C-alpha cells in the first residue's frame, strides 16, 4: 500500500539573512505564493516563511528561517546542496531573461540524466535549479502578473545531498524509505520512489574528502519527507529506532506533525504528515497574509510583532 510509505518530498527548509529580501525574491522573482507567515516555533523572535503553490501542496513547499545578521554559511558535505524545481518545457529562456533582469546569478543550462536544467542562487547564495523533467509534470503552478502557467515553477523535482560517502545515506533511502537507485552519472546517484509521480527524486552526490558544510545563511537546514498521516509516521519512527538511529518524538508544527533525525551522512531529515495542512488556521484565499502564531505564543503576540522585522 503506497499510502503506508514515504510519498516523496514534503518540504525543504533553508536559512536566509534579511527577511524582506527573502520575501521579495521568492514572491516576486520566483513567483511563489507565501502560504504561511509564522514564527520559528523554537525561536519565536524569528519568522518562518513557507512558499509553495496555491494550497502549499507537499512537494512544493520551500521554507526559510530568516535570521538577520546570522552570517554566511558554507555549502558542503552533510547537507542538501541543490533544491531543484520542475518547470514547463520551453520556459528556461524566460527564466534566463528574468534572472538577468533581476540580477540573479545563474549558469548556462546544462544536462543531467538527459534533462535540461538551469542553476541559480537566491539573494543569500542558496543553490537552486530549474529543470525541465523528462516525465510530464501535471502540477499547476502559482500564477502572478508576470509568471503564468507556461513558465511557473510546479514544485520540486528533486534535491541533491552532498556526502563524503553515499552508502550510509543510500541505505536510509532504500532500506527505510523505500527508494531505489534509478541511475548514476559520474559521482551523482539518482534515487526515486515509485509511490508518487512528482518530487520523487533524491540525488546523492559523492564527494570523498569534501569540505563539510556550515549551516548559516544561504544553506539548507533540513529535508522533510512526506507521509499521509501520523500512523504511518509513527511506524517509521519505530523502524528508524530499530536501525539504531536517534529520532525525536512527534512534534506538532500546527500545519503538519514532524519527526526529526540526522541520517548517518549528516543531513537532518524530517518526516512530516499531510495533515492538517495550511488551511487549518487561514482560508485558502488568505494564506500567508496574516502573521499566524502557535497557541503557546498567542499571549505574547504584541511583543513578538514588535520584535519581528516589518514586511512590506
The residues binding Zn ion (CB under 5 A) are: 13, 224, 270
Q: How far is residue 212's CA from residue 128's CA, in Å, rounded to a whole number? A: 19
Q: Which is nearer to Zn ion, 26 or 189 (CB)?
A: 26
Specify which residues 50 forms β-bridges with: 36, 63
> In the complex, what is the shortest distance from the CB of residue 210 to Zn ion, in angstroms, rounded to a whole number?
24
In 77-154, where do the E strands start and end? 79-86, 110-112, 115-121, 127-132
Name which of 44, 64, 54 is nearest 279 in CA terms. Answer: 54
Q: Which is nearer to Zn ion, 132 or 224 (CB)?
A: 224
Q: Omega before 66 cis (within 30°)?
A: no
Residue 192 Cβ, how far from Zn ion at the closest point, in Å? 22
Which residue's CB is nearer to Zn ion, number 13 or number 219?
Answer: 13
- Give the nearest distance from C-beta 94 to Zn ion in angstroms: 30
Instruction: Tell me whether residue 95 or residue 255 sits nearer to Zn ion (CB atom).
Output: 255
Q: Please, what is the minimum distance in Å from the beta carbon of residue 11 to Zn ion?
A: 6
Least Å from the CB of residue 134 to Zn ion: 29
Provide, rounded to whole angstroms, the least separation between the CB of residue 296 and Zn ion. 18
- In DSSP terms, 308 is beta-bridged to none
| Residues 208 and 162: beta-carbon distance below 8 Å | no
CA 114 to each of CA 117, 132, 138, 183: distance values in angstroms, whole numbers, following the listed order: 10, 10, 20, 11
Classify residue 145 by burial, with Cβ atoms within 10 Å: 0-12, 13-18, 19+. exposed
Kindly tell me which of 170 and 224 has the beta carbon lying closer to Zn ion.
Answer: 224
C-alpha cell at 268: 537532518
C-alpha cell of residue 45 = 523572535
Q: Which of 63/164 has CB closer to Zn ion?
A: 63
Give the helix, strand, coil percentages of the chain, each rounded to 5. 20, 35, 40
Q: Supply the minimum distance, in Å, between the C-beta of residue 224 and Zn ion.
A: 4
Q: Which of 152, 199 has the CB closer to Zn ion?
A: 199
* Widest CA span in the chain: 54
Amino acid at each position: 500500500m503506497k499510502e503506508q510509505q514515504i510519498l516523496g518530498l514534503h518540504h525543504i527548509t533553508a536559512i536566509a539573512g534579511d527577511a524582506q529580501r527573502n520575501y521579495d525574491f521568492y514572491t516576486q522573482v520566483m513567483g511563489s505564493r507565501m502560504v504561511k507567515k509564522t514564527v520559528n516555533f523554537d525561536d519565536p523572535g524569528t519568522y518562518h516563511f513557507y512558499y509553495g503553490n496555491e494550497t502549499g501542496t507537499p512537494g512544493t513547499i520551500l521554507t526559510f528561517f530568516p535570521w538577520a545578521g546570522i552570517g554566511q554559511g558554507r555549502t558542503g558535505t552533510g547537507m542538501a546542496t541543490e533544491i531543484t524545481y520542475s518547470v514547463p518545457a520551453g520556459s528556461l529562456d524566460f527564466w534566463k531573461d528574468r534572472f538577468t533582469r533581476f540580477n540573479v546569478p545563474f549558469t548556462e543550462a546544462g544536462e543531467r540524466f538527459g534533462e535540461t536544467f538551469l542553476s541559480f542562487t537566491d539573494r543569500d547564495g542558496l543553490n537552486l535549479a530549474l529543470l525541465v523533467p523528462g516525465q510530464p509534470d501535471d502540477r499547476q503552478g502559482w500564477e502572478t502578473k508576470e509568471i503564468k502557467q507556461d513558465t511557473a515553477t510546479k514544485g520540486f523535482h528533486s534535491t541533491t545531498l552532498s556526502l563524503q560517502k553515499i552508502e550510509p545515506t543510500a541505505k536510509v533511502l532504500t532500506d527505510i524509505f523505500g527508494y531505489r537507485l534509478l541511475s548514476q552519472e559520474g559521482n551523482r546517484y539518482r534515487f526515486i520512489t515509485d509511490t508518487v509521480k512528482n518530487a520523487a527524486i533524491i540525488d546523492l552526490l559523492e564527494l570523498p574528502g569534501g569540505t563539510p558544510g556550515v549551516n548559516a545563511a544561504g544553506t539548507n537546514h533540513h529535508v522533510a519527507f512526506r507521509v499521509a498521516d501520523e500512523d504511518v509516521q509513527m511506524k517509521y519512527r519505530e523502524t528508524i529506532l530499530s536501525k539504531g538511529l536517534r529520532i525525536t518524538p512527534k512534534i506538532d508544527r500546527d500545519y503538519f506533525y514532524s519527526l526529526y533525525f540526522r541520517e548517518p551522512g549528516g543531513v537532518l531529515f524530517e518526516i512530516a504528515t499531510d495533515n492538517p495542512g495550511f488551511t487549518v488556521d487561514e482560508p485558502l484565499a488568505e494564506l500567508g497574509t496574516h502573521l499566524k502564531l502557535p497557541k503557546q505564543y498567542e499571549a505574547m503576540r504584541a511583543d513578538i510583532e514588535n520584535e519581528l522585522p516589518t514586511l512590506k
